């Protein structure tokens, strides 16, 4: 039997593995983008209420949080390629079971499993990229990765409008299964096993207060947005192609706003931009409450602005945390996923409950969450300003004390 030769890691092999990973991620997230719109609309067609749909979405995000905690250990034991192939297959299987079984408890369990699988996919991909990326090219590589994810999810919205209704679940599952091919057959390199470090949730207090609040409250909004936005489009009696256009406008808004807001944050300060983005998101939510869209274009504009202002907050708060926290990058990333996931659990449930009183529940919850973030940023800004004033007021006294000549020594007699 011929021995298997070890693979020597060269820059060409590493570059090839990264390209294959990005191709697989793009194919898989196209199917995921399709299911993001498909599942809430299908649940409504079954006859479930917004509260029940919100519970299934909360189960998804709860599974996502569990995945953030458990997947790193799985990667250390099984390796990146095996984990990616396994969870991609499980994601497709869970999606097909969601179509076949129309019982709420089963949906909650399957959505939880689906969330765990997506957390595993994101964790595997991001740790793979960060392991292979060099410091001078890390930002560019992550930017390419984010672009691939957004383009893929937007592509899923296009598929939702193109495929026949009876082929939507199958189409999403097929895309997820096709994602196995590039990594499974042609990828010859993967990162070394991860070194495990004991994780403590109490480390969350090592994050800046605004970053903590922003991560959680942005999760409340975006969790509701991903779940309830397709239902808003459906309530306005839009066809499948129009629903996908509205969802794609939301995703494109999130992509378009990322770079300008990040650049502005570097110029004038992250806290100011976080405050401005949360204020803009609040105003868009109020507009959604007061204005009834007359056609697809009006609703697409609202969702473009809504997605742009809300989906940008996570990155801004993460930048604030990485700049001011003493925690490691791994701890910051894990804590942010946990806080954002916790908010994403609360958001859909709140939106489902509020929908019993108003059809604008998504906008109401978003306005409340962003108003809370505005109050918090104003309070923190005022506290910081007062501390600066105090330090400036005591500075002349301290300076005079530090520069005053020492008194002459006198004999005790």
168, 256: one domain: no
Q: What is the pLDDT of residue 188?
A: 61
* Claim to verify: residue 160 and residue 257 sit in the same structural domain: no
Residues 42 and 178 in one domain: yes
What pLDDT does 6 receive? 41
Name the residue range of residue 55's domain: 10-184
Residues 74-91 have a mean pLDDT of 85
Same domain, residue pair 164 and 225: no
Whether 242 and 383 map to the same domain: the answer is yes
Tell whether 113 and 172 lie within a shared domain. Answer: yes
Please indicate whether residue 413 or residue 390 has the higher confidence score (pLDDT).
390
Same domain membership, residue 232 and residue 162:
no
Same domain, yes or no: 285 and 148 = no
pLDDT at residue 279 greater than cutoff 90:
yes
Q: Would you place residue 79 in the very low, low, confident or very high pLDDT band (cuts 50, 70, 90)?
A: confident
Instruction: Indicate if the pLDDT at residue 263 is higher than 80.
Output: no
- For residue 262, being part of any structural domain is answered with yes
Confidence of residue 311 (pLDDT cuts 50, 70, 90): confident
Number of separate domains in the chain: 2
Residues 179 and 221 in one domain: no
* Residue 5 lies inside a defined structural domain of this protein: no
103 falls within a domain: yes
State the SS3 of the chain: CCCCCCCCCCHHHHHHHHHHHHHHHHHHHHHHHHHHHHHHHHHHHHCCCHHHHHHHHHHHHHHHHHHHHHHHHHHHHHCHHHHHHHHHHHHHHHHHHHHHCCCHHHHHHHHHHHHHHHHHHHHHHHHHHHHHCCHHHHHHHHHHHHHHHHHHHHHHHHHHHHCCHHHHHHHHHHHHHHCHHHHHHHCCCCCCCCCCCCCCHHHHHHCCHHHHHHHHHHHHHHHHHHHHHHHHHHHCCCCHHHHHHHHHHHHHHHHHHHHHHHHHHHHHCHHHHHHHHHHHHHHHHHHHHHCCCCCHHHHHHHHHHHHHHHCCHHHHHHHHHHHHCCCCHHHHHHHHHHHHHHHHHHHHHHHHHHCCCCCCHHHHHHHHHHHHHHHHHHHHHHHHHHHHHHHHHHHHHHHHHHHCCCCCCCCCC
Poorest-pLDDT segment among 121-125, 232-236, 395-399: 395-399
Q: Which of the pair, 366 or 405, is modelled with greater confidence?
A: 366
Q: What integer pLDDT is reported at residue 204 of this predicted model?
A: 74
Q: Is residue 341 part of a domain?
A: yes
The CATH number linked to 302 is 1.20.1250.20
Residue 72 lies in a domain: yes
Predicted confidence band of residue 395 (pLDDT cuts 50, 70, 90)? low
Q: Could you tell me if 172 and 240 lie in one domain?
A: no
Write out pLDDT tens, residues 328-348. Answer: 666 776 777 788 888 888 888
Asked if the structure places residue 406 within a domain, the reply is no
Whole-number pLDDT of residue 144: 75
Within a domain: residue 190?
no
Q: Does 268 share its domain with 147? A: no
Same domain, 35 and 174: yes
């Amino acid at each position: 039997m011929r021995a298997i030769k070890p693979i020597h890691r060269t820059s060409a092999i590493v570059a090839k593995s990264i390209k294959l990973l990005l191709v697989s991620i793009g194919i898989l997230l196209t199917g995921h983008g399709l299911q993001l719109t498909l599942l809430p609309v299908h649940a409504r067609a079954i006859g479930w209420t917004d509260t029940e749909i919100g519970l299934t979405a909360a189960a998804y995000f709860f599974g996502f949080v569990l995945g953030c905690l458990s997947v790193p250990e799985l990667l250390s034991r099984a390796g990146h390629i095996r984990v990616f192939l396994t969870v991609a297959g499980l994601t497709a299987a869970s999606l097909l079971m969601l179509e076949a079984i129309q019982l709420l408890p089963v949906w909650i369990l399957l959505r939880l499993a689906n969330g765990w699988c997506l957390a595993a996919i994101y964790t595997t991909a991001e740790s793979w990229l960060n392991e292979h990326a060099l410091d001078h090219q890390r930002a560019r590589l992550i930017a390419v990765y984010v672009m691939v994810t957004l383009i893929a999810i937007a592509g899923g919205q296009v598929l939702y409008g193109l495929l026949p209704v009876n082929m939507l679940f199958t189409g999403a599952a097929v895309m997820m299964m096709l994602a196995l091919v590039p990594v499974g057959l042609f990828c010859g390199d993967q990162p070394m096993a991860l070194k495990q470090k004991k994780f403590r949730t109490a480390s969350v207090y090592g994050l800046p207060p605004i970053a903590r609040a922003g991560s959680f409250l942005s999760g409340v909004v975006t969790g509701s947005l991903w779940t309830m936005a397709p239902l808003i489009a459906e309530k306005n009696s839009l066809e499948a192609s129009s629903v996908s256009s509205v969802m794609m406008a939301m995703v494109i808004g999130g992509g378009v706003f990322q770079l300008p807001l990040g650049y502005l944050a570097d110029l004038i300060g992250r806290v100011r931009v976080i405050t401005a983005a949360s204020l803009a998101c609040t105003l868009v939510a109020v507009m959604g409450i007061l204005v009834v869209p007359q056609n697809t274009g009006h609703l697409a504009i609202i969702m473009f602005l809504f997605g742009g202002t809300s989906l940008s907050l996570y990155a801004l708060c993460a930048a604030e945390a990485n700049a001011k926290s003493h925690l490691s990058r791994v701890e910051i990333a894990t804590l942010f996923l946990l806080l954002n996931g916790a908010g994403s659990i609360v958001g859909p449930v709140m939106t489902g409950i509020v929908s019993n009183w108003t059809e604008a529940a998504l906008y109401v919850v978003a306005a409340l969450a962003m108003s809370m973030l505005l109050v918090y940023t104003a309070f923190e800004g005022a506290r910081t300003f007062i501390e600066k004033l105090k330090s400036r007021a005591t500075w002349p006294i301290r300076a005079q004390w530090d520069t005053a000549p020492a008194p002459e020594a006198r004999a005790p007699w």
